Amino acid sequence: MLAIKSRKKPSKDEVAPHAAGSDPNDPQPSSSSSSEGERTALLSAEPPPRRSHRGHRSRPPRHRHHRGGGAGAGAGAGAGTDSDSAESSQSPSPPPAAAGRARAPSYGAVGLTSAARPVAPAGGPRGASSSNWVNELADATGYRRCTPLMVLFVLCSVCTVGILPLVCWWFPAVFVRLTSIRCELSEATTLLVWGVDGEKIPKIAHVRVVPKSSEDSSEAQPLRLAIFRCFRYLFNFETDKFERVEYNVNFPFSTVHRNLPVITRTSVDIYQNTHIYGPCQIEIPMKSIPRLFVDEMLHPFFVFQMFSCVLWFFEEYYLYSMFILVASLSSAFANMYQIRVNMNKFVRMVTCNFSVTKLTSKKLMDTASGVITNDYHFQEETVDSSAILPGDLISLSEDTPVLPCDLLLLSGYAIMNEGSLTGESTPVLKSPLPIFDEAENYNPDSMSKYTIYGGTTLLCAKRVKEFAIGLVIRTGYSTSKGLLMQSILHPPPTRFTFQTDSLKYIGILFLISLGGFIYSFYLYFIHGADASTIIIRGLDLVTIIVPPALPLALTIGTLNALSRLTKEHIFCTSPKRVNEAGKVQLMTFDKTGTLTEDGLEVVGVIPSLPLDGDYTDYLSPTGTPPHMGQPVTDTSLLSPGMTATLTCCHSLGLLGKQLIGDPLDVKMVQFIGWKMSEVFDGDGHTRGMTTVLHPQEGKSHLFSSLSVLKRFEFSPTLQRQVVVARGTHPEHTSTQLLVVAKGAPEVVLRLCQRKTVPDDFEQTLAQYASQGYRLIACASKCLREDQFTMKMARELVENDLEFQGLLVLNNPLKPESAPTIRKLACSRIRSVMATGDNLQTAVCVAQLCGILRKDIPIFLGEVRGGDVVWAPLESGPASLNPLTLLPSDGTQLFQLAMTGDAFQFYLQQKGPLLDKILVRGQVFARMKPDMKKELVECFEDIGYFTGMCGDGTNDCGALKAARVGLSLSESEASIAAPFTCTVPNIKPVLTLLSEGRCALCTAFGLFKFIAGYALLQFSDVVLLYYFYCNLSDMDFLYQDLCLTIVLSFGMSKTIACKKLSQRRPTSNLVSASVLTSLLGVIAIQVGLMAGCFLLAQEQNWWIAPIVPEGATYLNTYPTAVVSLFSSLEFPTMALVWSLGWPFMMPPIYNLYLIGGLVFCVALNLFLLFQNFDWLCSLFDLPYGDIPSSLSALLSSLGSSLINTGENPPPIPTTFRYIMVAIAAAGFFITILYELTVRNWIPALFGNTRRYNPRRFKKYQLVEQEIYNRPGKKIPDLHCNLS
């Protein structure tokens, strides 16, 4: 709608003709046709100014214009003259067009607005700088490929034997810096994007240069596009930045109607738009099979495993290395298969290619006068849905039920099922965009009444004049469904420290292995070993201390928890969040549909007028002043004003004979009993369809019918709805214009005349709200015919209303809510309510379910006169000091409940008062969706590990912001939350938290077991290196695979404790309890092994090993004692680190673990006491002589004893019993130590440490300030319910 600066700055002579709205390629309208001049301005819009040559930036305009002024915002850039800015400020109409439309094609449907940034008026792509979206490429740096650096990189890759390319594969930013030079963004081929999701490592985005169309004769440079994290960015040569592509329709309604339906495009326009916006489909990036294979093969851990296998081949560990190689490849192929299957399912879910009817519109010309009329002529064309572009007009039809894009409805009506996005199965009526301007410009997000969202289902299209027309405004990932898919493909990073701490542990283990490498180098060097033996033995220690079973152990516990959650109908889209569920300290709950039932029941109407009054006027009775009566259910007793409000003030539609729309409105119309019908009239742009309501037959009323003329839709921001209707008196004698309104009582009250509000209104409102009823205020007034026009602003209608009464609805509490909240409180998990309902109603529901304690004072906060006023729920001597938010009587136990406006008031201050609000606030009412998200983020900021449970409709933002979000919905939008549940109550929260605690403890236990077994095996090998010995191939295979895998699998099957404990498991791997447990148990096991070894050396049968020249290792008593005894210690470590009460059930309930322990202990004892020569030779144990027939077989299996030719006698049976006794003693010592560490040591250290504020979270410091007890743990008043 607005012209932009042309690529070639026009001269003043060129501007003048087009300023009048003329164009040589269009029919010439009359001089008085201002709307045609606006249309010409649209058609002549062009892309932003581009650089004519490298390194030269176009001169910026003198005046930079903004969108804030509606359609005129951003105007004036088209001609590039100073006079344009004044012209745009005087009128919301578009300014004159820039020159050169025929030669210079536009960027979008109508081009870009400003020379300063690519922000398009109605139809052009615009950047994120002008929208609410974050421009992730704002901090990008440009690089372009350098051939000399590329050649140097190839040479270095050869010199490093492929190590440099491998590092660059893991860190692509390193490759960009090594092979490219930094340059301006206008010349870049690759972008390094910094600060994405707060990460320090930059991301990569590639720039694609779109070649000019063969029909484009302009001197402009080609388009430069970048696709980053599914979103498309277009380079703006004026701002020298990449900016998010968005189709701009943020303009007054009349401007949209006058200009958008008559857009025409050249072939160059279509060519450019196709590349700018891309296809109208959600393209899931599918990696090919070879690429998946390369990704798996070059994973750091897989590379380490391959390196280990090669090393073991050199050590003649053929059997072990082959097994690890086969297992690693099998795991890689299984991961590839699973990734491919999941991506295919994802693609099938978002793919929706079909044929749609595209419309091409043009205004008709009166052949007699040559004047263009306001009538349109549409030409139909059937195209594939993927070929749709923003700015296209499509005809809505039931033949294409699932919409592939976001649409602005221009003509006709549509009944949509938005359950796939919102979870609400109730059909929604979509109305055409009014032609008359309202207070705000069109916004597709806030004005959902006129917006049809992609991915929703079209149930019925009600056509006006042949067509129901929709304007395409968003395609691909810019649609509502696309944004949902993008959030799934690129979820925010988890802030859980377990993964990072585990990597730190691996780094520490690697440093320990370097010490072992130096130690082995020294030992083998003084023994005179060759260089290859020294290097292989040192590297062997590195492969030992990082075990191959570590990745499996870190995930197997989570996978089993997911399996158990699935059986409870809880599904997870982010497995990493399972462990985070174990640390939740605070749960935020939505009210309606979550704590309470979905359905509403009309209890009655509380009128404000006397029922026996004499209605001489339409609204006001004579005589007695208004007062609040008792609830009535007989609608014949209601005043005409109340009846009209309940009848007309809604946005319902008809699907056949069924009322569709908001459930509250449906219940309200069903209660009043009037019948609704729809009458089509007008031209599809003025009104198109009129809703008419008639009273039931046989019942008399002041009006025989009520027709809805204009709706001011309900807005969560305004919290009210206003409708203008025309009442027809019986026998059509006369008509009366009415204004009816309904909404939140405190909001509607401000719109009413004070004399019409009963004195006992506040008392009545508090009385019924405290009982948990939902209250809707109703008001109305008469309007003269000369006071109303269809262009009338909302502010001129909703004033001087006369209060009619309250509609009372009941929203009962779900039976599972109160017991679940009580169990959470008993486990010291705080519960908070965030709802959009009335404060008094929310407080009542919170008391019923246990979120608010009735024995502790409650203070209510509301904004009045620009400040927050606090009042006690029940009258008493105490009041709340607004400066300190502390009770005046000095009590330290109190609770806060407030409205969303009050929360926003303190949020803007961001001070200590906000912290107290977050610590003591239990109920947050009248909360909008974005407020809920901000509330969750604030809880996280002060240290709470926050969870969120909602119905998935208005809570998606909060569900994604929370550490653990549980959506009680089956809609597609709910999959953006980490967890979804098909059980329609909050009881699954208990299951999720208990399984999360169990999974977290299991992950810690498995990590300690794997790390402990690696340290124990490392100690064994270091000890054997002293005697120039080593474990055999079968020893490694037996311990690493047989014992470790069996025991790890059993540990992962630990069952969660059903009852939540007041304690929470630790999430810090470097905490005192974890370190003392891991290091203490390992020290005990290594000490016992060393003691057993020293005891064996004192025996008379001990034969000291003799190192022969050229031998790689010896199979003597040191090897036998160390391997057999260390194998006995593995079950001990597995059982000790499976003790997780009160988060996990005792090991006796884990049959898999018990079976694994029995199997491993029996197998260890069998190997210890058996005397089979062939088995001893296979494990390189002392056995005596061996039959020659087995010599060749055992040699092929890797038995090194055949190579030495030594056959020491077996270990005496007596000493074998001593080894079992020592291992048994070690078992009891380890159990006693672990229990001591769990219970006594943390308490001892906790009481002896000095006060340090850094030890406490911010919310704990606030509680200490309230109680005036710094450094002391304060009992949580919200978690002491019994």
By annotation, the residues acting in catalysis are: 590
Helix spans in 624-719 (H) = 640-648, 663-672
Do 1057 and 998 meet the contact criterion of CB atoms below 8 Å apart? yes
Do 1092 and 1220 meet the contact criterion of CB atoms below 8 Å apart? no
Which one-letter amino acid corresponds to residue 228? F
Q: What is the dihedral of CA 376, 380, 384, 389, to 10 degrees?
A: -20
The H or E element containing residue 420 is helix 419-422
Which strands sit side by side in the sheet containing 413-417, from one edge to the other? 428-430, 413-417, 457-462
Do 988 and 569 meet the contact criterion of CB atoms below 8 Å apart? yes
Helix spans in 546-583 (H) = 550-567, 576-580
**Residues contacting 860, CB < 8 A, separation 6+:** 839, 843, 870, 871, 872, 873, 897, 898
Helix spans in 171-232 (H) = 172-179
**Residues contacting 920, CB < 8 A, separation 6+:** 885, 894, 895, 896, 1266
For residue 1178, the tally of other CB atoms under 10 A from its CB is 22
Backbone angles phi, psi at 593, to 5 degrees: 85, -10
Terminal alpha carbon distance of the chain: 65
Strand, helix or coil for residue 923? strand
Do 1012 and 1082 meet the contact criterion of CB atoms below 8 Å apart? yes
CA–CA separation, 291 vs 336, rounded Å? 10
CA–CA separation, 792 vs 569, rounded Å? 51
Cα–Cα–Cα angle for 307, 308, 311, nearest 5°? Answer: 90
Q: What are the CA-CA distances from residue 807 to residues 671, 715, 1067 (Å)?
A: 10, 19, 50
For the range 525-534, what are the long-range contacts, defined as Cβ-Cβ under 8 Å and sequence gap of 24 or more?
A: 527/1028, 527/1107, 532/314, 533/1112
Which strands sit side by side in the sheet containing 570-572, from one edge to the other? 570-572, 979-981, 964-967, 946-950, 586-589, 830-834, 921-925, 895-899, 858-864, 867-872
Cα–Cα–Cα angle for 560, 565, 569, nearest 5°? Answer: 145
Q: What are the CA-CA distances from residue 326 to residues 320, 331, 542, 924 (Å)?
A: 10, 9, 21, 57
Question: What are the structure tokens assigned to 515, written together?
Answer: 């010490």
The distance of Cα 654 from the centroid of its chain, to the nearest Å, equals 35
Per DSSP (E only), the strands in 824-931 are: 830-834, 858-864, 867-872, 880-881, 886-887, 895-899, 921-925
For residue 463, the tally of other CB atoms under 10 A from its CB is 18
CA–CA separation, 1187 vs 1177, rounded Å? 11
Do 977 and 967 meet the contact criterion of CB atoms below 8 Å apart? yes
Transcribe 128-156 into DSSP letters: GGGSSS--TTTT-EEEEE-HHHHHHHHHH
Helix spans in 585-744 (H) = 640-648, 663-672
For residue 715, the tally of other CB atoms under 10 A from its CB is 15
DSSP β-ladder status, 946-950 and 964-967 = parallel
